[in-house]
């Protein structure tokens, strides 16, 4: 197999052979030659239906003509200026118009950069040092959020990576998702908390959905304790609909981070929110933040084209949700208890009920998942290779693709 050969050399060139750890599928990952619509063509000549979609950004599928044209036409005019360009205003206007909580935005180049900057900004605004995150919640790969899950529900953090110094994560506390008591208790015992950051729907544990009223209660508690609420909508922004999770659940966070879909598949991130907070960002204010590739015209062009397409075709969210539901319905009823679906996000957890938090998700039978994942690959369906990554659907998945995925679920279980 060509992929096996490539991976074997890649391991001598790059740590673990990959550019990001989740890609190091065992015994070796397939190499992709080409992505078209809902399909990937591998270097081994296989054709796969893709439910990973670059881990979320490709809601329009691979090489969508509208986005491709925007990228190509932008490339004619150069792809990096080091000066402002009008496209920044286009994408800023769209994100601001679609999110009532957002008065101003700052573009960056990744979701990690966005959450890192949002946390710094929250500290700069409040003058406080600590942050709270959800146990198992993911906000990218920077030091302050690389804290071990399961190290005690409300204790200050233990590093989740070598090279992260305890002094940094000492200022990061965790609470379980869907647990407002733990949040209240933590805030009552700590008046040095700048912000609570969470994915409104956990996308990096699988999808884990908020209990009824959970997010509203979180908003109330953070307000009562004068702590900023940061919604990390890097996955959910434009994935759960125009307006993201904050629109769906009717919550007004103080700051919001975006990434993934807003770049149409090119690298992007954005932190955004209330004007009085955002205006503390340099050069308007004292909180430093900068980036060579921030607001680069290619990412902006792809993002503008993608968001415009979504806004012009709002009905597609309904279609995506129906397709994901159809896949769930194909699962034999004695195996379906751990199926979770919200819009075009879906996942079968190998446990008896949908998890409510990270600990419950971790009780899933990952060996059974792995057997299932391999069977799905043999049927030509590429799912994210972890029990704890969300599956996605795109506009490019045809009825035939959906029927194939559903058929494969029913057979492989």
For ligand PLP, the closer CB: 199 or 357: 199
When binding is defined by CB under 6 A, the residue of 115, 296, 301, 364 that contacts ligand PLP is 115
Quote the DSSP letter at residue 116.
H
Q: Check binding of 235 to ligand PLP (CB under 6 A).
A: yes
Which residue is it, tokens 């933040």? Answer: 289
Residues 6+ apart with CB under 8 A from 102: 95, 96, 256, 272, 273
Q: Does 385 bind ligand PLP (CB under 6 A)?
A: no
d(Cα 6, Cα 29) in Å, to the nearest integer? 9
- The answer to whether 377 touches 42, Cβ cutoff 8 Å, is no
Burial class (CB in 10 A: 0-12, 13-18, 19+), 146: buried
Rama region for 355: left / alpha / beta (φ>0; ψ in -120 to 50; rest): beta
Which residue's CB is nearer to ligand PLP, number 136 or number 176?
Answer: 136
Residue of minimal Cβ distance to ligand PLP = 111
Planar angle of CA 159, 162, 164, nearest 5 degrees: 50
CA distances from 404 to 30, 35, 78, 290, 355 (A): 21, 18, 41, 46, 27
Of 16 and 78, the one with the shorter C-beta distance to ligand PLP is 16
Nearest residue (CB) to ligand PLP, 29 versus 203: 203
Which of 42, 112, 172, 341: binder of ligand PLP (CB under 6 A)? 112
The structure tokens listed for 185 are: 């208790």
Which position among 132, 134, 182, 234 is part of the footprint of ligand PLP (CB under 6 A)? 234
* Distance in Å, CB of 411 to ligand PLP, minimum: 30
* Smallest separation (angstroms) from ligand PLP to the CB of 290: 17
Q: How many residues bind ligand PLP (CB under 6 A)?
A: 15
Q: Which of residues 166-205 bind ligand PLP (CB under 6 A)?
A: 199, 203-204
Cβ closest to ligand PLP, residue 42 vs residue 257: 257
Site string for ligand PLP, 121-140 (x = CB under 6 A): -----------------xxx
CB of 232 to ligand PLP, least distance (A): 4
Q: Indicate whether 265 belongs to the interface with ligand PLP (CB under 6 A).
A: no
Phi, psi for residue 63 in degrees, rounded to 5: 50, 40
Q: Which residues bind ligand PLP (CB under 6 A)?
A: 110-112, 115, 138-140, 199, 203-204, 232, 234-235, 259, 269
């Amino acid at each position: 197999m060509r992929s096996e050969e490539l991976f074997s050399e890649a391991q001598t060139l790059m740590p673990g052979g990959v550019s990001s750890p989740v890609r190091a599928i065992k015994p070796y990952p397939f190499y992709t030659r080409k992505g078209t619509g809902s399909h990937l063509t591998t270097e081994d000549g296989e054709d796969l239906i893709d439910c990973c979609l670059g881990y979320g950004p490709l809601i329009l599928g691979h090489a969508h003509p509208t986005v491709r044209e925007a990228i190509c036409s932008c490339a004619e005019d150069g792809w990096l200026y080091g000066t402002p360009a009008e496209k920044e205003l286009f994408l800023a206007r769209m994100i601001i118009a679609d999110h009532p909580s957002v008065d101003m935005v700052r573009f960056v180049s990744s979701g990690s950069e966005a959450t890192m900057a949002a946390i710094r900004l929250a500290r700069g605004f409040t003058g406080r040092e600590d942050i709270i995150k959800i146990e198992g919640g993911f906000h990218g790969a920077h030091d302050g959020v690389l804290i071990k899950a399961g190290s005690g529900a409300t204790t200050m953090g233990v590093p989740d990576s070598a090279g992260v110094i305890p002094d940094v994560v000492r200022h990061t506390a965790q609470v379980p998702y869907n647990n407002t008591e733990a949040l209240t208790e933590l805030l009552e015992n700590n008046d040095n908390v700048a912000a609570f950051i969470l994915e409104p729907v956990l996308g990096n544990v699988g999808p884990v959905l908020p209990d009824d009223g959970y997010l509203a209660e979180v908003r109330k508690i953070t307000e009562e304790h004068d702590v900023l609420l940061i919604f990390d909508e890097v996955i959910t922004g434009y994935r759960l609909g125009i307006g993201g999770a904050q629109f769906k659940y009717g919550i007004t966070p103080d700051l919001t981070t975006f990434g993934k879909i807003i770049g149409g598949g090119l690298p992007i991130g954005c932190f955004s929110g209330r004007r009085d907070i955002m205006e503390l960002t340099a050069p308007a204010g004292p909180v430093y933040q900068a980036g060579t590739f921030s607001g680069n015209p290619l990412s902006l062009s792809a993002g503008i084209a993608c968001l415009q397409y979504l806004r012009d075709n709002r009905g597609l969210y309904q279609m995506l949700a129906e397709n994901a539901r159809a896949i769930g319905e194909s699962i034999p009823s004695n195996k379906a208890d751990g199926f979770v679906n919200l819009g075009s996000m879906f996942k079968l957890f190998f446990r008896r009920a949908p998890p409510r938090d990270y600990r419950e998700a971790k009780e899933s039978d990952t060996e059974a998942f792995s057997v299932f994942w391999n069977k799905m690959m043999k049927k030509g369906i590429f799912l994210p290779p972890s029990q704890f990554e969300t599956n996605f659907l795109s506009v490019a998945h045809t009825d035939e693709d959906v029927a194939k995925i559903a058929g494969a679920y029913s057979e492989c279980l």
